[in-house]
Amino acid sequence: MQIPIHQIQIRPIQPSDNKVLAGIVRAALTEFGANKPGTVYYDKTTDALYELFQTEGAAYFVAEHNGEILGGGGIYPSNGLPQGTCELVKMYLSPQSRGIGLGKKLIQKCLQAAQQMGYTQVYIETMPELQQALKTYEKFGFQYLDGPLGNTGHFGCDRWMLRALSPEEKWEKE
């Protein structure tokens, strides 16, 4: 049974979310054959997302339904990015929460947060194995780049995208 999108709560990450979110991230990467070195699968910060997102200029949002965590996504001021640019990071959903518009809702929340924090661009590093995610990013206006920006350390990613944020941009109400 599909979960109605209007019944899903989007909230800031809490310390107790770490273990479940790390499991969702690694399970999704394994499911799509993207559990390879140089990705968040092996990144030690994946086990401590709450702590990671206490960094200034960062935010992470968790999708929850009836107390069950369905996934999450965030923005982060990754090393070496141009001024005014953050990265859309660790955007993963559990299988039962895909295909209902939750990814769209989380991305929108992240872009809105980035805009509110004063960022002017949002960057993504991803992989060809995550085809549905690539299509969703394209629908949001992310454009492909020829190479990486910054120095994230995720050498396993070979798709890079960038999207400008406009101060006039309006977002759907939650």
CA distances from 124 to 76, 88, 150, 169 (A): 10, 5, 11, 19
pLDDT at 67: 93
pTM above 0.75, yes or no: yes
With tokens 């805009």, the residue in question is 115
Residue 20 tokens read as 């479940």
pLDDT at 33: 84
Kindly list the averaged pLDDT for each block of 10 residues, start to end, along the chain of length 174.
85 97 93 83 90 96 95 94 94 91 93 95 88 89 90 76 86 62
pLDDT at 173: 61
Q: Phi then psi for 24, rounded to 5 degrees? A: -65, -45
pLDDT at 124: 94
